[in-house]
Structure 1
């Protein structure tokens, strides 16, 4: 599944990073490389490991906030969330099993192209992201940290 994420970043103009987060907020997959094992013993420094976890935390928090807002407004299920910032855009959508797909992109990205590729990813990954695979991914991510 990691190659799907890397292809997403490599093939879609403007995409900086992509993360798949479990329904309970645990990072399952990231397009950014995991830190080398020897780096885990060193003092933490800003870099890919922190930005991977930051994106996962933001995706999870934003999804929780929008689900709460939708419930308060009787809006039904949240389909997707987009946050447009001066220097970037964050997209969050749910995968069929309750996991989340988060995409961080450049401010000048083509939002419709990214939304299209997110839908393709969810279509490809949704049926593959079984409970057994989620368990394996969660275990692997905990070993990396």
Structure 2
């Protein structure tokens, strides 16, 4: 981990580290973000600038919201993950505890199964640490 930032709790630093680790260590993943249940950015991988991270967060939140709409309208169960296939890659969004979500951009060469597995592992780890207090702190310290 890097040198602790001033004014940021250890839990917030650890969550940001988890997002960066996911993006850096998952083969084929270019970038990752985490958003709160209201669609606000709470973490981003180092490869993104704030403007693009905010945009990716809004898109990820919207896609998950659409999936929730489908689940409320049809008896198919709750959404676990949303995958958007593009000509040169994928956007994957998965739920995390407390209504939060993880979004990831992956290359076309990425193994979707491997990326989905790593997203599930991330979600399980994040579930253990994400509290309402931490989510609130992350909203104000993202990118620091």
TM-score by length of 1: 0.83
Superposition deviation, residue 26 in structure 1: 0.4
- 1:27 is matched with 41
Write the distance in 2 (CA, Å) between the matches of 1:61 and 1:120.
Answer: 23
Structure 1 outlier segments of 4+, above 2 Å: none
Where do 5+ consecutive residues of structure 1 fail to align?
Answer: 34-46
The answer to whether the 8 Å contact 2:97/2:126 transfers is no
Larger radius of gyration: 1
Write the distance in 1 (CA, Å) between the matches of 2:27 and 2:113.
Answer: 12
- Deviation per CA, 1:89-129: give whole Å up to 9, x if none: 01111112110011111012111111111111111111101
Superposition deviation, residue 139 in structure 1: 2.1
TM-score by length of 2: 0.84
Where do 5+ consecutive residues of structure 2 fail to align?
Answer: 1-14
- State the superposition RMSD in angstroms: 1.7
Write the distance in 1 (CA, Å) between the matches of 2:46 and 2:68.
Answer: 27
**Secondary structure at the counterpart of residue 127 of structure 1:** helix
- 2:89 is matched with 88
The answer to whether the 8 Å contact 2:32/2:102 transfers is yes
